[in-house]
Amino acid sequence: TYDLAANYQAGPLHLGAGYEKNGAANQYALRGLYEMGAFTFGGYVQRDKNGYAAGNRTTFRLSGMYAMGNTELHANYGHAGDYSGVVGDQAANQYTLGINQNLSKRTKVYAFVTKVADKGTIYGDFQSLAVGVRHNF
């Protein structure tokens, strides 16, 4: 397996690119993030070839955050496309809304709800709610 990644940062702009090759399968991805005061916007796009069932597909995700003091509001949307050469619809969409309350630099409480809307049969339709505490050591 070969992996290659490059990252670039210039003030509020963060960019990245990656490539992986594992036998006949390979993928490449581009990502970007921009910080604009209280708002942060990000996203990525990834193309994989000869992956699942030797098909090709494109996935992407768009995300945003709004910070108000120690509180962060998060939203994101992700899409996993159909695999080429596979019969049927395998695409899915994911929606997530969340909130973080930062108690300190290393500790936060969070809650989020996410929904996966599967157009096919790979992922399944589901919703989940999560609540927790995260501490970075």
Mean of pLDDT values over 23-48: 96
Identify the bridge partners of residue 39 per DSSP, sorted by sequence position: 36, 66
pLDDT at residue 120, rounded to an integer:
67
Report the predicted TM-score, pTM, of the whole model to 2 decimal places.
0.86
Residue 85 banded pLDDT, cuts 50, 70, 90 = confident
Torsion angles phi and psi, residue 52, rounded to 5: -50, 125
Answer yes or no: are the C-beta atoms of 60 and 79 closer than 8 Å. yes
Token pair belonging to 45: 């796009």
Token pair belonging to 40: 């942060």
Q: How far apart are CA 128 and CA 84, in angstroms?
A: 29
pLDDT tens, position by position, 45-84? 999 998 767 789 999 999 999 999 999 999 999 999 888 8
Mean of pLDDT values over 25-30: 95
Token pair belonging to 39: 């708002």
Q: How far apart are CA 12 and CA 97, in angstroms?
A: 23
pLDDT tens, position by position, 88-131? 778 899 999 999 999 999 999 999 999 998 876 677 788 999 99
Beta strand pairing call for 25-36 and 126-135 = unpaired
